[in-house]
């Protein structure tokens, strides 16, 4: 099977050496390091895992940083483990998970097995998908060096030698937009194709997308012909009750990214920065038609007490116009949503493999994707499975035509 998938959303489990080999020597003691310990893992919510030492627990490789112990957990590195319901939550060692989670050569081999031609990789659970682990740490000087070290690892080790198959994604300091712009500029010169960003910064106590605060970073990304990549779960999900069954936020996660999409569409950021391109990972598809239809209706029709809810001087086009010019959505399983692909726009849809998370179909990604899209016309299917991502992320690898 000739690999043909180009996935906009996979993940890297950072190897143990990254910060101890790349931070300045004076910072390594305070920087992230791994120790193998026996204990138990817990879910602190919002993608935050914690570890407690316990002689009766399991052995696991545990990150130490910012006063926290953060375990590797198999549910975030579950590729190759079936059936899904038998994958355990507890701590794991690097030997317990596939080498493709953290070793680039092994990842390329796993990509070949699954029909994945190229892959855009977000960080995994320690770094967190938009580097939140560092941006919300106490020591900001150390955090900035950790972010730079991670980005240097991505371009110099993870992506190097992959012939363009591993697409470089960077993270930026979220506590200062000027620092974020400086890192975007640095990464652009190094050949990065995309920057990961939190889905709703205001939910983390940062300025909102609507505030205009992030416009300098958005503008720098656009000017560098990079993509702003937004992953679900990068901002607190606050709707579910604290004692709600865990299935509730798992099912509802895409509701949050749709709310983020609405803010981008109505904030006029795409009017201010017309070349900004945003890809929403794990957004799925089924909610998008409703969001676009309702947003356009509000833009066109709703007037309350004589005051329009939308300033059409700032937003002269309906939201669907900006969506179909500036936005892309990614999915891994959505049989309902794919039936509405023409309404969303074939050129706006990307198929992702989500390696190595629990949702991944690895090693059957290509077969499962083609089965799911069996009723889609061949040319549209080719766009969804690889062509759209190739164009969006400027993938340059043999076979990506």
Torsion, CA 39, CA 45, CA 46, CA 49, rounded to 10:
0
Q: Are 213 and 146 in contact (CB under 8 A)?
A: no
What does the H/E/C string look like for 109-121?
HHHHHHCEEEEEE
Please, what is the Cα angle at 344 between 208 and 4, to 5 degrees? 100
Where are the chain's structural domains?
5-29+98-392
The confidence score (pLDDT) of residue 398 equals 63
Q: Report pLDDT digits (tens) over 138-185.
A: 999 999 999 999 999 999 999 999 999 999 999 999 999 999 999 999
Residues 71/49, Cβ–Cβ less than 8 Å = yes
CA atoms 139, 145, 146, 151: torsion sign: positive
* Higher-scoring residue by pLDDT: 362, 311: 362
First to last CA, the chain: 16
Using DSSP bridges, classify how beta strands 278-281 and 227-231 pair: parallel, antiparallel or unpaired.
Answer: parallel
Contacts by residues 25-30 (CB-CB < 8 Å, ≥ 24 positions apart): 27/142, 27/145, 30/139, 30/142
Domain 5-29+98-392 has CATH 2.40.50.140: no
In 257-317, at which residue ranges do the beta strands (DSSP E only) sit?
278-281, 303-304, 307-308
Contact indicator for 370, 5 with CB cutoff of 8 Å: no
Q: What is the pLDDT of residue 46?
A: 75
Q: What is the pLDDT of residues 9-64, one digit of tens each?
A: 999 999 999 999 999 999 999 999 999 999 999 988 777 889 999 999 999 999 99
- DSSP code of 2? -
> Count of residues for the chain?
401
**CA 19 to each of CA 29, 34, 369: distance values in angstroms, whole numbers, following the listed order:** 10, 10, 36
The pLDDT tens digits for 335-370 are 999 999 999 999 999 999 999 999 999 999 999 999
392 neighbors 120 (Cβ within 8 angstroms):
no
Instruction: Please determine, for residue 400, whether its predicted confidence score (pLDDT) is greater than 60.
Output: no
């Amino acid at each position: 099977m000739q690999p043909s998938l180009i996935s906009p959303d996979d993940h890297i489990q950072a190897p143990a050496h990254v910060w101890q080999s790349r931070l300045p020597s004076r910072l390594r003691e305070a920087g992230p390091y791994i120790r193998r310990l026996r204990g138990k893992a817990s879910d602190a919510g919002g993608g935050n895992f914690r570890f407690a030492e316990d002689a009766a627990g399991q052995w696991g490789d545990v990150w130490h940083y910012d006063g926290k112990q953060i375990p590797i957990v198999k549910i975030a590195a579950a590729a190759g483990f079936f059936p899904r319901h038998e994958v355990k939550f507890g701590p794991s060692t690097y030997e317990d998970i596939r080498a493709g989670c953290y070793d680039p050569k092994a990842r390329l081999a796993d990509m070949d097995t699954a029909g994945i031609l190229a892959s855009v990789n977000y960080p995994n659970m320690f770094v967190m998908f938009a580097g939140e682990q560092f941006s919300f740490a106490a020591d900001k000087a150390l955090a900035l060096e950790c972010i730079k070290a991670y980005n240097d690892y991505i371009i110099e080790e993870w992506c190097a030698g992959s012939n363009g198959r591993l697409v470089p994604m960077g993270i930026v300091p979220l506590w200062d937009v000027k620092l974020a712009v400086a890192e975007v500029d640095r990464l652009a010169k190094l050949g990065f194709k995309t920057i990961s960003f939190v889905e709703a910064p205001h939910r983390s106590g940062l300025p909102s997308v609507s505030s205009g605060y992030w416009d300098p970073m958005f503008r720098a990304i656009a000017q560098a012909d990079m993509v702003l990549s937004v992953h679900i779960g990068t901002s607190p999900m606050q709707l579910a009750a604290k004692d709600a069954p865990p299935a509730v936020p798992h099912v509802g996660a895409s509701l949050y990214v749709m709310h983020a999409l609405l803010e981008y569409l109505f904030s006029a950021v795409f009017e201010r920065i017309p070349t900004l391109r945003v890809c929403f990972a794990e957004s799925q598809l089924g909610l998008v038609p409703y969001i676009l239809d309702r947003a356009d209706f509000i833009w066109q029709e709703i007037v309350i007490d004589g005051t329009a809810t939308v300033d059409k001087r700032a937003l002269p086009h309906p939201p669907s116009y900006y969506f179909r010019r500036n936005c892309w959505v990614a999915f891994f399983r959505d049989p309902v949503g794919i039936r509405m692909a023409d309404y969303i726009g074939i050129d706006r849809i990307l198929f992702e493999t989500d390696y190595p998370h629990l949702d991944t179909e690895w090693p059957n990604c290509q077969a499962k994707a083609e089965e799911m899209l069996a009723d889609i016309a061949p040319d549209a299917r080719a766009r969804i499975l690889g062509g759209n991502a190739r164009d969006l992320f400027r993938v340059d690898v043999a076979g990506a035509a």
